[in-house]
Structure formats: C-alpha cells, structure tokens
C-alpha cells in the first residue's frame, strides 16, 4: 500500500485538477480536457476517497451531492439585507436614471456606469468564510431568507473554494438560473414520458433550489452569475463595481462577459440597444439590463430610498411571456402524420414579435395544463424557439370554456387518426394520400439536404398540391412551363429557374435520394450509411424486405430496419420510386464522392467546442481545401455547425435556427468523402 503522504498528495492533486476542470467547463465554457479524461480523474478520486475514508473532506468535489432530504429549510437572517431594484420600462429609462443620479449628486459632468444583464432567475447569497462556501441562502423577504446550501452545492459553476481568496468573510450575490437549452431538453424529456413540464426556466431554477431532496435538485441543471456583494470582512474593496466583478471572476466565480463600463445616458442607451440585439441568441433568459453607478464611493453617497438603492436601476425589455385569450385550437398535420394542437391566439406582443399561433405540443400536455378554448393563457416566446402556450391563468370569469378533443379523422384528408400503444402522439393514417403529409413530404424531398431543389418553397408546394398538378415527388419532374404559368406570382423567369433546378436535382447522390424519401427514422446519417453499405438503389431495394440484411449496416437496429421494410412494402412508395427513375432521376452510388465534395464546396461552416482528432486550424484547412468557408458566428446562412466536446452557445444557436449540426465523426466522414 502506498505511503499515506503519497495518498494525501495524490488526493490534493486530483481535487485541485477537478476543481480547475469544473471551472474551465462550467464557468469559462472552455474545457482543457475531454469529458472522458475528466470522468477518469473523478472516478480515481472517488475510489481513493473510498479506500481512505479517514482522508475524505467535506469540501471535496465528490461531495457536491450528498446531503439528506430535509423537512424544511432553516431561516437565515441576512447580515446585509438583500434589496430590490427600481425598474424602468420606457425607452427613456436610461435618460431618466442618469438625470436622477446627477441631480442627487449635484454633478454636471458625465457619470461612469457599470452596465450588466438582468438575469431572470432566483437571487442567492453565497457566504464564503476563509474562501470556503459555508452557506447559501435565498432572498426571502430581503431580511430573512432560507438556507439552501445543500442544493446550491450541486451547482457545478459555483466554486466550493475560492481561488486567490483574501480570507475573512465574503458574501457574493447573484442569480441562479437554468439555461434555455437545459430547459428545452428537460421539458422535451418530460413530454416524451408524459410527465409535467416546467413553465419557464425561472420556475425551473426556483423549483430546484427549493427542492427538499438535494438528489432531485442535482438532476436539474442550474448555473449562476454574480452581480454584487453582501457582507464583506477582511477584504479591501476595489474602488468600482466593475472592479468588484473583475475580482470575483478572478476568484473563480462566474461573472457574465456581457457587461460594459460606459459614461452618460448615451452610453447606457447604447448598451440597452446592443443587448436587445443579442437577447435572442443568449443561451439564458434575461428580462432587461441593469445600470449601476460604477464608483462605490458615489454609490455610498447616493444611498437608498426605502428598499431600493438610488445608484442602480433595471431597464426592462418586452416580456417573453404574456397573457392572452385562446380563441381556438387547430390541428396541424406534419410530414409523418403527427397531429399537433396549435393555439389560435388573440394576437399578443411577446418577446419582441406579435404572436397569434403557438404550439400546444400534444394532447397529453394540453390536458395536463388544463387548457381549454376560451381560457386566458400564458404565451412564451424566448430566443429563437417556437412560441408555446406555457400554461393557463385560472380565471373563473371566462365567458365560455370548451374542451378540445383530438379529431377522430384527419382534418386535411379525412383518414382515420390513431394513437399507437404507448405513444403520446396522434397520427393521421392517410400517408401520402393526405395533402398535408404530401406537402410536407414534397418540401422534405426538395429541401437543401435532400434533393436540394432551389425555389420550391411552402407557398409553391401549397399551390401545386391544392391545384392537383403535383401529387408525388415524381410529378415534379413532369412539370412544364405552362403548368407553372398559371400559378400565383410565377413569372416566366422564375418558372424557368425552377424547372432547371428540378432538372439539375436528377443526379444527386444516392444518400441524398434515400434521405429525400422521408422514410421514418431514416435521417441524413442513416441514409448515408445505407448508401455506403448497399452501393445502389437496386441493392437496397433487394435487401429491403430482409431484416438481417438491414441490421448488418452499422448503426441500424430493428426499429429502423422495420421502418425501412414497411416503407418498401407499400406499393405506392415503390411506384413513386419507379416513376422517379422513369423521369430520369439517377441516384448513383458513384455520386457519393461527387456529392460529398459538392457538399463542402461553397458551404459555410462554423466550428465550436474541442475537436479531438484535429485542431481547429486543421479542420479549417480541410474545409477550405474542399472549397468551403469557415466563419465565426452562426446565422441562417450557415450550412454546417461542427460540434466538438463541450460546445458553447454556437451549438444552441445552431439548434435554434435549425442549422445542420455535425459531430466530429460525421464531420470526419464528410471530409473523407470529399477527398
Ligand atoms: S442588483 C442592491 N444586478 O433582480 C441591488 N440584480 O433587484 C440589488 N437581478 O431579485 C440587485 N440581475 O436577483 C442586480 N445584474 C443584476 C441582476 C439583478 C438580476 C435580480 C435580483 C433581484 C431582482 C431585483
């Protein structure tokens, strides 16, 4: 057995390394090592602590979750009261604040301000003594809060030890929040299981912090940003608020990068405008910005007015949640026949746009929320996410309330609606007989990553299907100039462009062709696997009735195999494929290579996270060698976002905008196909 001193040394090294990696991962969003390596260190620490229980310490990173289930939270009297803040909502909020501050101080010159975000979460006071986190408390009524230390310890972004800490007492104040992506993921998982969802990330954060079982609290991913101080003893304060935040950041406490020191009302307004533009792409909710007089001496001079400091103000943005009337519920039919209840709302301005439709996801969720037609509901639109009905407002004065029933027959084609056993989704059984599914199938067939028919958008597909000119993808290849001439807003030139786009789609790679068929569970990467494995459409067709042959393909299991079998079993699907071939569509295996090269050529890539097989520069070089371009930020013009380990907000943005996301393996595949 190793010497005790050696074990001690190793424990210390491991704990320090893990704390450093926690910080790089959760606070800086810039990890140094892959997850697997972190897990290895963590396991080694757990094992070593188990072997040497006498050397375990309460502040080890392995002890973030470990507390008991509580009966209630203990009250905590705040050493320094946790105050509230004055709020401005009008455009001239910045100017009003600046004028007030200068009047109070009797200063004519421009004042220096610290500007930051107003995070939408839950206020928390973290108390560090000698650099160790000893207590975390909610705000409560401002004088007395609740001791939520156990739960707060489970938040990885909050350090249990401060780096470069001067000692003494340091209370850090800030906001615990749940990121948008974590919120969406949590809700999607709950919805899949038919379990209750969270109304918004703020409730998610507040609910987990006030959860009596720390094991449950640890399951909801929370984070933290500091914005100020409580009691401080034994530390010489910096002279400014921005200096305080810099100092906290250097101790390992998360401080948002989106902050600025500016001067005068104009500086405040510019910050307000900058953040308004940024708001949708932030990975967390904010409800405004906060302006603070930067000099702590001037803050002292200004003091407080009852419970609000005179030196700070919150300037709000339009709310991301609004109340409105639910006029009706309609049902939308998707490509695979899934029926989605959609709320028809009294138009309402929310999250910066006017919303009149919002998703209700599925019947189960609608029931759980107790939503009925005629109700007052809460609509949420945050970031680039589709607006949704978050819940209903209990209001017994509603003039009428109708229960919504899922139709028994498809509202578009009249086919029977079914719900498979164990599924929470209702589906139309009409398949391609259903105009809604047909439209979606055509749009999918023509989409950029499938057959890439430029110019065949929603409005055009609506007209082509509604007039009966096009029923199946094969009909697209039969279109003539005169068929298009009679359509709305279709000039001769655009008709010609469309026809030539259709013509040039005939030689797409086999993998794209397979993807374009819209076989359930066959996404882009499965389509590529199939193309590579079978090499030709003929070979795929020949194998398509034999499960054993299909599951030979890497990554294809019984569920996908069955879905392929079902697809090729449908007579009309075979008919459409034969007709496509007859019209001159030539999906060719040889085109895999050609297709891959052209998939990079002219395309715009964004790289995020840590790649393990090559450096960023190498990846960039490869893309450029194949005729692609690498840019720094994600927009609707981005073709691919390549995501390595621990990606940053670019990944969220790609998901929100529906940009194609490739993991490293997929990217490597794409590149190797292209050279
Ligand atoms: S300063 C004495 N700064 O807004 C000033 N508050 O105050 C105390 N909040 O519940 C507040 N982001 O939790 C401040 N950057 C920020 C903030 C912020 C969010 C919350 C805070 C408080 C509420 C009203």
Rounded Cα gap, residues 77 and 347, in angstroms: 45
Instruction: Give yes or no for residue 84 CB within 6 A of ligand 1.
Output: yes
For 86-137, the DSSP string reads: EEE-STTHHHHHHHHHHHHHT--SPPEEEEEEEE-SEEEEEEEETTEEEEEE
pLDDT in tens, 142-181: 999 999 999 999 999 999 999 887 789 999 999 999 999 8
Give the list of residues 6+ apart from residue 640 with CB closer than 8 angstroms, or none.
603, 604, 605, 606, 659, 660, 661, 662, 667, 670
Instruction: Give yes or no for residue 11 CB within 6 A of ligand 1.
Output: no
pLDDT in tens, 377-416: 999 998 877 899 999 988 777 677 888 999 999 999 999 9
Average pLDDT over residues 611-638: 82
pLDDT value at residue 594: 38
**C-alpha 118 to ligand 1 mean position (Å):** 6
Segment (H or E) for 217: helix 214-219
Rounded Cα gap, residues 464 and 455, in angstroms: 13
Domains and CATH numbers, the chain: 2-65 (1.10.287.610), 86-316 (3.30.470.30), 321-392 (2.40.50.140), 417-582 (1.10.150.20), 604-673 (3.40.50.10190)
pLDDT at residue 675 greater than cutoff 70: no
Rounded Cα gap, residues 363 and 41, in angstroms: 45
Phi first, then psi, for residue 308 (nearest 5°) are -120, 135
**Residue 233: Cβ-neighbour burial (10 angstroms; 0-12, 13-18, 19+):** exposed
Q: 316 catalytic, yes or no?
A: no
Average pLDDT over residues 577-600: 71
Rounded Cα gap, residues 503 and 157, in angstroms: 54
Instruction: Give yes or no for residue 116 CB within 6 A of ligand 1.
Output: yes
Rounded Cα gap, residues 518 and 671, in angstroms: 25
Nearest alpha carbon to residue 147 among 221, 63, 203, 67: 67
pLDDT in tens, 291-318: 999 999 999 999 998 889 999 999 999 8
User: pTM to 2 decimals?
Assistant: 0.69
> How many Å from the N-terminal Cα to the C-terminal Cα in the chain?
54
Looking at residue 318, what DSSP letter applies? P
Average pLDDT, the chain: 89
pLDDT value at residue 107: 93
For 37-88, the DSSP string reads: HHHHHHHHHHHHHHH-GGG--TTSGGGSS-PPPPSSPPEEE-SS-----EEE
**C-alpha 381 to ligand 1 mean position (Å):** 23
Average pLDDT over residues 220-241: 95
% the chain with pLDDT above 70: 97
Instruction: Give yes or no for residue 567 CB within 6 A of ligand 1.
Output: no
User: Is 590 strand, coil or helix?
Assistant: coil
pLDDT value at residue 338: 92
Q: If pLDDT is split at 50, 70 and 90, which confidence band does 69 have?
A: confident
Compute how many other C-beta atoms are within 10 angstroms of the C-beta atom of residue 334: 14
* 27 within 8 A of 157, measured Cβ to Cβ: yes
Take residue 86 and report the two structure tokens written for it: 């004055």
pLDDT in tens, 110-125: 999 999 999 999 999 9
Instruction: Give yes or no for residue 118 CB within 6 A of ligand 1.
Output: yes
Q: Which of 85, 138, 224, 228 to mutate to test the pocket of ligand 1 (most atoms within 8 A of CB)?
A: 85
**Better-predicted residue by pLDDT, 625 or 256:** 256
Q: Which atom, in ligand 1's list, is nearest to the CA of 228?
A: 1
* Catalytic residue of the set 51, 68, 118, 316: 118
Q: Whose CA is nearest to atom 21 of ligand 1?
A: 123
Instruction: Give yes or no for residue 69 CB within 6 A of ligand 1.
Output: no
pLDDT at residue 1 greater than cutoff 80: no
* 634 within 8 A of 654, measured Cβ to Cβ: yes
pLDDT in tens, 451-481: 999 999 999 999 999 998 999 999 999 999 9
Rounded Cα gap, residues 180 and 159, in angstroms: 22
Rounded Cα gap, residues 600 and 594, in angstroms: 10
Q: If pLDDT is split at 50, 70 and 90, which confidence band does 598 have?
A: low
Q: Which atom, in ligand 1's list, is nearest to the CA of 312?
A: 5
pLDDT at residue 7 greater than cutoff 90: yes
Helix axes 616-625 and 664-674, enclosed angle (nearest 10): 30
**C-alpha 82 to ligand 1 mean position (Å):** 9
Q: Whose CA is nearest to atom 15 of ligand 1?
A: 118
pLDDT value at residue 592: 45
* 357 within 8 A of 165, measured Cβ to Cβ: no
Q: Where are the beta strands (DSSP E) in 442-497?
A: none
**C-alpha 141 to ligand 1 mean position (Å):** 14
**C-alpha 225 to ligand 1 mean position (Å):** 11
Take residue 288 and report the two structure tokens written for it: 């405004």
């Amino acid at each position: 057995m190793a010497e005790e001193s050696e074990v001690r040394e190793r424990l210390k090294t491991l704990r320090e390394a893990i704390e450093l990696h926690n910080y790089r991962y959760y606070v800086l969003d810039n990890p140094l090592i892959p997850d697997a390596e972190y897990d290895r260190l963590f396991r080694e620490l757990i094992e070593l602590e188990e072997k040497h229980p006498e050397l375990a310490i309460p502040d080890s990173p392995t002890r973030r979750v470990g507390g008991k289930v509580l009966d209630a939270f203990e009250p905590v009297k705040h050493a320094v009261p946790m105050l509230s803040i004055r709020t401005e909502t009008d455009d001239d909020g910045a100017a009003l604040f600046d004028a007030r501050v200068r009047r109070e101080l009797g200063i004519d010159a421009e004042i220096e301000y610290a500007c930051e975000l107003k995070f939408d979460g839950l206020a928390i006071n973290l108390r560090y003594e000698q650099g160790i986190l000893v207590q975390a408390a909610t705000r409560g009524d401002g004088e007395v809060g609740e001791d939520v230390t156990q739960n707060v310890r489970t938040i990885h972004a909050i350090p249990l030890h401060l780096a470069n800490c001067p000692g003494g007492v340091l209370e850090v104040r800030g906001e615990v929040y749940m990121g948008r992506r974590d919120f969406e993921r949590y809700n999607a998982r709950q919805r899949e299981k038919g379990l209750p969802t969270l109304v918004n990330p703020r409730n998610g954060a507040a609910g987990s912090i006030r959860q009596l079982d720390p094991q449950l609290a640890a399951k909801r991913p929370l984070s933290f940003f500091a914005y100020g101080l409580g009691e401080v003893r034994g530390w010489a304060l910096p002279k400014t608020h921005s200096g305080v935040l810099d100092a906290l950041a250097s101790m390992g406490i998360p401080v948002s990068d989106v902050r600025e020191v500016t001067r005068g009302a104009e500086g405040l307004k510019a910050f307000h405008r900058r953040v308004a533009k940024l708001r949708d792409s932030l990975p967390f909710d904010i409800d405004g910005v906060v302006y603070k007089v930067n000099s702590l001496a001037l803050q002292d001079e200004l003091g407080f007015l009852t419970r609000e400091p005179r030196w700070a103000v919150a300037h709000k943005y339009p709310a991301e949640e609004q109340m409105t009337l639910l006029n009706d519920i309609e049902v939308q039919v998707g490509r695979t026949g899934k029926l989605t209840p959609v709320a028809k709302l009294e138009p309402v301005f929310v999250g910066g746009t006017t919303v009149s439709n919002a998703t209700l996801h599925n019947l189960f969720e609608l029931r759980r929320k107790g939503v009925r037609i005629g109700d007052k509901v809460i609509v949420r639109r945050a970031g680039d996410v589709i607006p949704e009905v978050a819940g209903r407002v209990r209001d017994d004065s509603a003039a009428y309330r109708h229960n919504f029933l899922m139709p028994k027959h498809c509202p578009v084609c009249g086919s029977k609606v079914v719900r498979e056993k164990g599924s929470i989704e209702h589906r139309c059984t009409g398949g391609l007989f259903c105009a809604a599914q047909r439209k979606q199938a055509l749009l999918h067939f023509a989409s950029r990553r499938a057959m890439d028919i430029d110019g065949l958008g929603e409005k055009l597909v609506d007209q082509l299907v509604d007039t009966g000119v096009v029923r199946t993808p094969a009909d697209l290849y039969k279109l003539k100039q005169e068929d298009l001439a009679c359509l709305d807003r279709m000039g001769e030139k655009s008709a010609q462009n469309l026809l030539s786009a259709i013509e040039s789609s005939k030689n797409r790679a086999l993998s794209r062709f397979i993807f374009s068929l819209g076989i359930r569970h066959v996404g882009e990467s499965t389509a590529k696997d199939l193309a590579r494995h079978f090499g030709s459409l003929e070979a795929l067709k020949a194998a398509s009735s034999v499960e054993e042959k299909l599951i030979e393909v890497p990554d294809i299991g019984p569920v996908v195999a069955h879905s392929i079998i079902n697809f090729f079993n449908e007579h009309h699907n075979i008919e459409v494929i034969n007709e496509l071939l007859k019209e001159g569509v030539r999906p060719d295996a040889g085109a895999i290579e050609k297709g891959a090269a052209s998939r990079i050529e002219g395309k715009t890539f964004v790289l995020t996270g840590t790649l393990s097989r090559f450096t960023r520069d190498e990846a960039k070089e490869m893309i450029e060698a194949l005729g692609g371009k690498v840019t720094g930020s994600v927009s609707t013009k981005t073709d691919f976002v390549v995501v390595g380990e621990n990606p940053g907000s670019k990944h969220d943005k790609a998901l929100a905008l529906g940009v194609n996301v490739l993991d490293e393996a997929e990217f490597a595949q794409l590149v190797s196909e292209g050279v």
